[in-house]
Amino acid sequence: MRARWPAVRSGVQHRLGLIPLGEASIGIAIAAPHRDQAFDACRYIIEAVKQRVPIWKRERREDGSAVWIDPSGHPAAAGPA
């Protein structure tokens, strides 16, 4: 990101563990001279995180059931090993 947008400053925080419904699991803060650069840098960062970090999710449904979602966003038979 720094090579692509040298004037942009960023910070990233990713939460682990059980995240209550409706709460953010990742926060990205961007400071940039221009709004378009900020939005482009933010999109770049979130896509890079999704590619580099194997993020598994366990979605809990209202009926009490749960399903694992693999890093590609698809339901999985089992969670991470």
Q: Per-residue pLDDT tens for 30-67?
A: 999 999 999 999 999 999 998 888 778 888 888 989 89
pTM of the model: 0.70
Residue 12 pLDDT exceeds 90:
yes
**What is the mean predicted confidence (pLDDT) over 3-24?**
91
Tokens 């580099």 -> residue: 52
**What is the mean predicted confidence (pLDDT) over 3-25?**
90
* Cβ-Cβ contacts under 8 Å for 20 (sequence gap 6 or more): none
